Chain A
């Protein structure tokens, strides 16, 4: 494969990932409004936060009546993995100080996955930027469209939007707890569910989710990765980067 071919392949991958990811911005927009946010607030989350997992978590805590502190903490904790993507993409990008904030804002699951999956640095850079910009544009456009739809629908329960929010979180966690070598992730998921449900009657809304994060920290500290089992992937890009793009594949990592 020539370097031109590699760059073209990176662009193709970036476009298909951007379209697939952008489309589910519709569900974020609708759920944001259903959670009680206004259309500008929902759109602001996509423009400024631009990290799907954190955005869904933020509106989930708000919808449950959680306090501002709990919403900020949950969104922030889910954003921690973005910090770990930096060291993966900086050697590929090598941007100057001026572009660094832009590259940082676009450092999300999808751009990291596409950028780091390419065979050379040049194609990796093309893949990162095309995916980052593509997802940013489409995610925001579709978030806005979803917010308009959600606003027009009215009572969110009548249309099952509360159930849709639960399904969205399930879709986000699914690739991380299925497949080979995910035993510990499944145990942590089960522990988190039990802690969240058991603590719900006793602590303010939003706090059960934060308590559940402690399960993961304890599990990570007391266990060692077995030599035969790969660590749970920070990214879950297996299907995302299938040669024919993500269409028909499992839902993937969040923007």
Chain B
């Protein structure tokens, strides 16, 4: 993306997110309080974040790749299972990948 297009995307996406927040404050409660709506919204959040994990950990452009990011993700999962704080999880993953790459893993 060119710098101009990136700025446009930032402003447009921010406007969309703000509009969604505002809609929640303005719409009649029963429109959004439908259990099915809340259920689907929760599941969409899970699906998007899960897909982002996969894409961020195992793809490069249009290829599937296995590199130092995968063992780093395993370390992150173990840290999460041990209830480590978010920032610790993120740093452990970065350190794992950095060390493995320093040792020659792609």
Contact = CB atoms under 8 A, between A and B. Distances in A.
Interface in B29-68: 29, 32-33, 35-59, 61-64, 68
Contacts of A77: 44, 48
A104 to B, nearest CB: 4
B20 interface: yes
Per DSSP, chain A at the interface is: helix
A133 B92 CA distance: 29
Interface residues of B, number: 79
A101 interface: yes
Interface string A166-205: 1111111110110000001100111111011100111001
B17 A54 contact: yes
Interface string A151-175: 0000001111111111111111110
Contacts of A101: 22
Given A68-B5, A168-B90, 19 more contacts: A27-B86, A41-B7, A49-B10, A68-B9, A71-B9, A72-B12, A78-B44, A83-B32, A84-B41, A107-B25, A160-B93, A163-B93, A167-B94, A212-B47, A216-B40, A220-B43, A231-B39, A234-B38, A234-B42
B17 to A, nearest CB: 4
B36 A220 contact: yes
Contacts of A160: 68-69, 72, 93-99, 101
A80 B40 CA distance: 10
5 contacts: A54-B17, A171-B90, A192-B50, A216-B40, A251-B86
Contacts of A169: 49-50, 52-53, 56
A248 to B, nearest CB: 7
Contact of B47 (A72, A83, A163, A216): A216
A225 B68 CA distance: 39
Contacts of B77: 170
Contacts of A79: 16-17, 20-21
A166 B76 contact: yes
Contact of A170 (B40, B55, B83, B89): B89
A80 B20 contact: yes
A126 B41 CA distance: 27
A45 interface: yes
Contacts of A63: 56
A234 B39 CA distance: 8
Contacts of B91: 27, 164
Nearest to A81: B41
Given A166-B76, A170-B76, A225-B35, A100 B9 contact: no
A163 B57 contact: yes
Given A48-B10, A76-B16, A79-B16, A234 B41 contact: yes
A220 B36 CA distance: 7
B103 interface: no
Contacts of B61: 64-65, 205
A103 interface: yes
Given A60-B52, A86-B32, A105-B21, A192 B13 contact: no
The listed residue with most A CB atoms (<10 A of its CB), out of B18, B51, B54, is: B51
